[in-house]
Amino acid sequence: MLQTYILWVAPANLNPMTIKFPPLPPDVEFEVLPKTISALNEAFDAKRDAMGPHIEKRWGWDEEFQYTVHKNRFSEKPFVRIIRNDERIGVVSVFSTKKHIQFGEFYLAQQHRGNGLGSRILKHCLSQTDKMNLPVKLEFLKWNPVGSLYLRHGFEIVGENDVHYFMERLLNTV
């Protein structure tokens, strides 16, 4: 049964635990982004590249507003740089709370999408989070085709609002 949710907002006392991922052989590495302006901007550039077209389609792209929203999220939770063959190709935010793993802000550069790399990275991340014995939760824009990726990897839609689907993946479902 679907439930209606309000967009997830990190409570001030969330205190998320960063999950560090080992390399994904043969060519992908992960590096926790420091809380610096250059790292913030790198993550925002990845967001603009990946999400810009989907946001533009619905509301138009307001650079100042999007940067402010992203800056707030960047300050609330950990972001991880995705590196392939020494090239920075995207970011993801994955962290643990006491009750679940939160997966999101998964942005790959355009030239690295559509060739199975996103599936490889997601599968790798999930193999690591499964060791924590917690469900994994995420959300995405209803009109973003990324939902099919998550469905293929064992996520189920558990709720929605006007803008987002909310998904959950129970342990070892793939």
CATH number at residue 150: 3.40.630.30
3-state secondary structure of 154: coil
Render pLDDT for 33-81 as a digit per residue (tens, 0 to 9).
Answer: 999 999 999 999 999 999 999 999 999 999 999 999 999 999 999 999 9
Domain of 85?
3-169
Of 6 and 17, the one with more pLDDT? 17
Question: Is residue 112 one of the residues assigned to a domain?
Answer: yes
CB contact at 8 A, 70 and 86: no
For 20-24, 47-51, 170-174, which range has the lowest pLDDT when averaged over its residues? Answer: 170-174
- Give the single-character DSSP code of 134: -
Question: Is residue 162 one of the residues assigned to a domain?
Answer: yes
Render pLDDT for 121-161 as a digit per residue (tens, 0 to 9).
Answer: 999 999 999 999 999 999 999 999 999 999 999 999 999 99
Question: Is residue 127 one of the residues assigned to a domain?
Answer: yes
Question: Is residue 164 one of the residues assigned to a domain?
Answer: yes
Classify residue 30 by burial, with Cβ atoms within 10 Å: 0-12, 13-18, 19+: buried
Q: How many domains does the chain have?
A: 1
Q: Residue 165: beta bridge partners? A: 140, 160
Question: Is residue 174 one of the residues assigned to a domain?
Answer: no
pLDDT of residue 75: 94
Residues 6+ apart with CB under 8 A from 100: 134, 135, 136, 137, 168
Helix residue spans in the chain (DSSP H) = 37-59, 63-76, 117-129, 147-152
Question: Is residue 91 one of the residues assigned to a domain?
Answer: yes
pLDDT of residue 2: 41
Question: Is residue 74 one of the residues assigned to a domain?
Answer: yes
pLDDT at 174 over 90: no
pLDDT at 1 over 50: no
